[in-house]
Every structure is written in C-alpha cells, then in structure tokens.
Amino acid sequence: MKAMSHWYSSSILWSVIAAILALAQVILGILVFILPWISSKRIITYELRASEPLIRAPADVDPGLQVAHHGKTLINPHIIIVWLAYRGRKDLPSSAFDQGAPLVVDVGIEITALVRKDFRPGALPIPKVEINGTALEIGPSLLRKKLEMEFFVLADGPDVSLDVVAPLADIKVRPQKQEEEKRKVRSTLLSVSGWACVAFIVWWIIEDPAGAAHIVHNIGAFLAGAANGFSHFVDSL
C-alpha cells in the first residue's frame, strides 16, 4: 500500500505527465492554425445559393403573358445561382484535368442560358464555361488559388438537383455546408482538448509549483534551442 501511495504521489511522475500535456497543448495550438490550411489544400466546395422565379406576378395577371429567350418560350422561368470555390494553396493548371475533361456542374434541369458569371479574384485568365444540357462545363482551364466562382443560370422550372463532378487528381469535392460542419467539429475537438490540457496544467502548477517551474524552464530551454538551431539552418542556406 505504501508503494502504491508513493507511486501515485510521485512528483517526478506528475512532472512527466504535465510536461507531456504541456507539449500536447503547444501542438494542439499549432494544429488549430495548420489543420485548416492542410485540409483546404485541394478542395472544391459548392453550394446552391438560390432558385428564384424570374417574375413574381399576382395570380390575376393576364395568363397570356409569356417570357421568351431568343425565341424560346419559358413557362416557369427561374434564376438559379450556383457558387463554387477552389481552396488550393497553388494554382491548378489546365493539365491537371484528366484527359482534358471539364469540371461539370449539373443543376438537374435544362439550362436555357448562362446570364452572368463572376470570378473572385478576377485575375486572368478567366476559366472558360460552356452549357451542355443540364450542366455547366468549366475548363479545362487554369484555376487560380482561392478562386470563387458564381454562376447565374436561366432555366425553365425550379426543380434543381445540384451535383458537381471534378475530373481532377487528388481533388476532394464537397458541399459547402458539409465542409463547414467538418471544420466546426474539428475546431470543437481541438478546443475541448486544449482546455482540458490547460485545466490539468493549472491544477498541477497549484499542487506542485516547484516541479512546474522546473518543467517550464526545461521546455523553454528546449524551444529556445530549437529556434536557435532553425535560425542557424536558415542562415546557412
């Protein structure tokens, strides 16, 4: 029983545990900044921003009123707004498109016209976009890093079913909502883990201030040495 008590109350043991947790806290703090950068290196996200009737007319308006586009009559014209973003750290060259196949944005309903397209930032060259039935075909073109694309599509009806296919190697395609949920979960887990480490370290400092001071000194010395070594390495390049 004495041995067990001595093992449990050993200041060396708790110093080692606290040092590990302190290092874990530093790593978690770094990951909070690094993970979003890593996870966003090759991702295309997309979102249906709107599907709205082109004309909002009262029910008693003359039923003979028609809307036409280049001679084609539209029974129930709608404007569909689709948003995409490429979150790569580097520009994506046109050669990355597999066998020259385009990025396909299918809205699930026949497209009458692409009435507007916005690219942010608007750096040249602007990706080429063509209509093919129910889909917009983008590229193959150079996609600038952090590129956002927004398309205003005219279609005859509101029945949108958005799907995006990217013939690009190592590119993840996700709905924007799904990507936001993943980031929230990741951020919450990191935050909870970090605060748990902080709480334990605070408790340990209160229980064993001398041991805490010793470990903090050693960690500081280690980090200072590592920074100094890195500085010398950079200077030698």
Q: How confident is the model at residue 7 (pLDDT cuts 50, 70, 90)?
A: very low
Q: What is the pTM of this model?
A: 0.62
Quick: pLDDT tens for 24-38.
666 666 655 555 555
Which residue did the predictor score with more confidence, 111 or 16? 111
The rounded distance, in Å, linking the Cα atoms of 139 and 132 is: 13
Least-confidence region, from 22-31, 105-114, 118-127, 191-200 = 22-31
- Work out the end-to-end distance of the chain between its first and last CA atoms, rounded to an integer number of angstroms: 59
Cis upstream peptide for 125 (omega within 30°): yes
Q: Where are the domains of the chain?
A: 20-41+178-216, 43-56+65-170
What are the backbone dihedrals phi and psi of residue 29, each rounded to the nearest 5 degrees, phi first?
Answer: -60, -40
Residues 6+ apart with CB under 8 A from 15: 208, 211, 212, 214, 215
Q: What percent of the chain has pLDDT over 70?
A: 55
Give the integer Cα–Cα distance in Å for 40 and 111.
Answer: 31
Q: CATH class for domain 43-56+65-170?
A: mainly beta
Q: Render pLDDT for 137-182 as a digit per residue (tens, 0 to 9).
A: 998 988 888 899 999 999 988 888 899 988 887 788 888 886 767 6
pLDDT digits (tens, 9 = 90+) for 114-143: 999 999 887 678 888 999 999 999 989 888
